[in-house]
Structure 1
Amino acid sequence: MSEKIVIYQKPTCSKCRATISLLKENGQEFDSVNYYEVPLTVEELRKLIQKLNVPVRDVLRKDEPAAHGLNSASDDEIIKAMVENPDLMQRPIVVRGDQAKLCRPPENVMELLKK
């Protein structure tokens, strides 16, 4: 598989740093996107979630204080809230081609490297 790997991450996140270390240890080249510095658009996040092939709520960090008001929100409202407040997004998300993995735990990234 030769598709470029992209990791959407927050540099201060321990799971993000561990995932980056695994990519480096396995000799993988990748692009890193700090979505705090380069915010995702609603459409970009929607595409990421489609690649993850999980419900929108699985990408929401439910323990974040800002998430408490989203219990009855629609998927579109949750996506918009995550774009406006990146702390609401689970991380890191690693993409390779049309596949993506939420790397919590970081070892989930290995599934993308086997393909």
Structure 2
Amino acid sequence: MLTIYHNNRCSKSREGLCFLENMNEPFEVINYLENVPTFKELETIIKKLNIKPIELVRIKEKDWTENFKGKTLSDKEIIEAMIQFPKLIERPIVINGEKAVVARPTELINKVL
């Protein structure tokens, strides 16, 4: 089953959700601001995306610039920062089994179908 990590305040995330709704296939929506992923969950998502943790961070986000910009952080510390400040997590993330994409642009969802 497809899963989307979604933030309703984000237009790109809403576009990704709309894309999935138009497919008429079942999918799960995880509002990650309310249901913050655990360390293990984020670690798994990052592995599925085949990226480094910093690549999932919204580095222009205020929480990042005020708390972490210019600091040298380990991968573990970056994941912990995303848990502490979930707005830092890039969105939307769409997962299908072992495949995942950050759906920016929305058409990238096709890569996991």
Q: TM-score with structure 2 length normalisation?
A: 0.91
Unaligned runs of at least 5 residues, structure 2:
none
Cα deviation for residue 13 of structure 1 reads 1.1
Q: Does 1:26 align with 2:23?
A: yes
Unaligned runs of at least 5 residues, structure 1:
none
Q: Is the 8 A contact 1:70 1:78 kept in 2?
A: no
Which residue does 2:64 correspond to in 1?
67
How many residues are matched?
A: 110
SS of 2:101's partner is strand
How many angstroms apart in 2 are the aligned matches of 1:11 and 1:20? 9
Correspondences of 1:1-115 after superposition (within 5 Å): 4-68=1-65, 69-71=68-70, 72-113=72-113
SS of 1:87's partner is helix
Q: Is the 8 A contact 2:6 2:17 kept in 1?
A: no
Aligned Cα RMSD in Å? 1.1
Q: Is the 8 A contact 1:60 1:82 kept in 2?
A: yes
Percent pairwise identity: 35
Q: Classify 1:102/1:36 alpha carbon distance in 2 versus 1 (closer, same or farther; 3 Å).
A: same
SS of 1:54's partner is coil
How many angstroms apart in 2 are the aligned matches of 1:30 and 1:11? 16
Moved runs in structure 1, 4+ residues, more than 4 A?
A: none
Q: Is the 8 A contact 2:36 2:83 kept in 1?
A: yes
Q: Deviations over 1:32-70 (max 9, x none)?
A: 000111111111101110011011111000101222324
Amino acid at match of 1:102: V
